[in-house]
Amino acid sequence: MTIPFIVSQEEGIIMDTIINWNELWKAIHVSSRLRTEKDRDPGKIWNSKAHAYSRITRDEKASTKQELSMLDLSPTDTVLDMGAGTGRLTVPIAGMVSHVTALDASEGMLSHLKERMAEEGRTNYSCVVKRWEDVVIGSDIPVHDVVVAAFSLGFYDVGAALLKLDAAARRSVHLFWHIGPWREPEEMALYTAVHGEEGSRQVGYPDALFLVNILHGLGIYADIRIYRAVWETVYESPQEAAEQWITMHAPGFEDLDLVTRHFEERLQKDDDGGFRETSVRTTAMVSWRKGE
């Protein structure tokens, strides 16, 4: 469903006066050591996770197909995928438009994207290795018809990041982000077992309603479409699932057995011998068209 947020000018002024949503986002952001460490060198952090991320998203098809169907794309479009990662969306987008630019702070993540592009025989793309905070629109990248940012908004100053995304788009912007809890209860229980109560409260980011309210304060009146995204990964064993999870979420954690037990209970064995993880996440697409 698409929900237009209609607020009168007077109500908007009062709301922005009472709550500065971008400053609240910043305060939440800096409360987490995990988030501030990532800020210092996101390229390095994601380089170390690139192989695991590529492995975890390799079998994911359902939510990718769902999200692609929501995008406002035509064959003549140019598209910027900010925080493209290993190309989960970028690679299929290349088959739908004239050119796609994959931007990411991690050269390691983009190396997997290039491999996937080669496998698909795609050449209508370019890669830019750069932090979004450091990008200059019109110099580092041109304005594109459509801008996409899928689960890549973990910035301290997300308001500035959103304004830059708007400036980079000629026609429309599409953001994908979680709404409600960061992860489903079973995974949050694992975070707690690994990081402790305090550490588990520091994972994740504020949800999509923050983005809508921050955009409102910037004079951008976005729509929000809420949907249930089904994510699937097939592993060779629960131990492999545990190893990949630790690489992604708890580097250096040494109790592999603890995490393996979690996946032994969670994974479903397929007829072909694989172990399937299925997660259903309540997700939002926040989008707006320029000039509307």
| CA 93 – CA 99 distance, rounded (Å) | 9
Count of helices and strands (H, E) across the chain: 12, 9
Is 260 part of a structural domain of the chain? no
- For residue range 170-188, what is the model confidence (pLDDT) as tens digits? 999 999 999 998 888 888 8
Q: Is the pLDDT of residue 246 over 50?
A: yes
Q: Where does the pLDDT of residue 292 fall: very low under 50, low under 70, confident under 90, or very high at 90 and above?
A: low
Report the CATH number at residue 106.
Answer: 3.40.50.150
Distance between CA atoms of residues 170 and 224, nearest Å: 20
Query: pLDDT value at position 35?
Result: 87
CA distance 242 to 247: 9
Quote the CA–CA distance of 68 and 174 in Å, as a whole number: 11
Mean pLDDT of 111-124: 97
Mean pLDDT, rounded, for 65-73: 95
Q: With bands split at pLDDT 50, 70 and 90, how would you rate the model's confidence at 30?
A: very high
Smallest CA-to-CA distance from 280 within 3, 2, 68, 63 is with: 63
Would 43 be classed as within a structural domain? yes
What is the rounded average pLDDT for all residues in the chain? 92
Phi/psi at 124 (5° precision): -90, 55
Q: Are 267 and 277 in contact (CB under 8 A)?
A: yes
Distance, CA of 150 to CA of 82 (rounded, Å): 8
pTM: 0.91
Task: Work out whether the CA dihedral 246, 249, 251, 252 comes out positive or negative.
Answer: negative
Contact (CB, 8 A) for 249 and 191: yes
In a domain, 47, yes or no: yes
Q: Bridge-partner residues for 58, per DSSP? A: none
CA 23 – CA 158 distance, rounded (Å)? 9
Beta-bridge partner residues of 278: 232
CA distance 83 to 58: 17
What stretches of 151-291 adopt beta strand conformation (E)? Answer: 169-178, 223-235, 268-269, 275-289
Confirm whether 258 is domain-assigned.
Answer: no
pLDDT level of residue 209 (50, 70, 90 thresholds)? very high
Whether 156 shows a pLDDT value over 80: the answer reads: yes
The answer, yes or no, to whether residue 60 has pLDDT greater than 50, is yes
Confirm whether 263 is domain-assigned. Answer: no
CA atoms of 131 and 42, how far apart (whole Å):
8
Evaluate if residue 215 carries a pLDDT over 90.
Answer: yes
* Band (84; pLDDT cuts 50, 70, 90): very high
By the 8 A CB rule, do 216 and 280 touch?
A: no
Rounded to an integer, what distance in angstroms lies between the CA atom of residue 250 and that of residue 229? 24
- Of 101, 102, 210, whose CA–CA distance to 154 is shortest? 210
Structural domain containing residue 16: 2-185+198-229+282-289
The answer to whether residue 5 scores a pLDDT higher than 50 is: no
pLDDT of residue 38: 87
Q: Is 35 contained in some domain?
A: yes
CA–CA gap between residue 166 and residue 172 (Å, rounded): 8
Q: Tell me which range, 2-16, 147-161, 271-285, is most confidently predicted by mean pLDDT.
A: 147-161
Cα-flanking dihedrals φ and ψ of residue 74, to 5°? -135, 160
Tell me, yes or no, whether 139 lies in a domain: yes
Residue 262 domain-assigned (yes or no)? no
Ranking 109-113, 262-266, 270-274 by mean pLDDT, the lowest is 270-274
pLDDT band per the 50, 70, 90 thresholds, residue 32: confident
Query: Per the structure, how many domains does the chain have?
Result: 1
Q: Which stretch of 201-205, 216-220, 244-248, 284-288 has the lowest confidence by average pLDDT?
A: 201-205
Tokens standing for residue 257: 């057995």
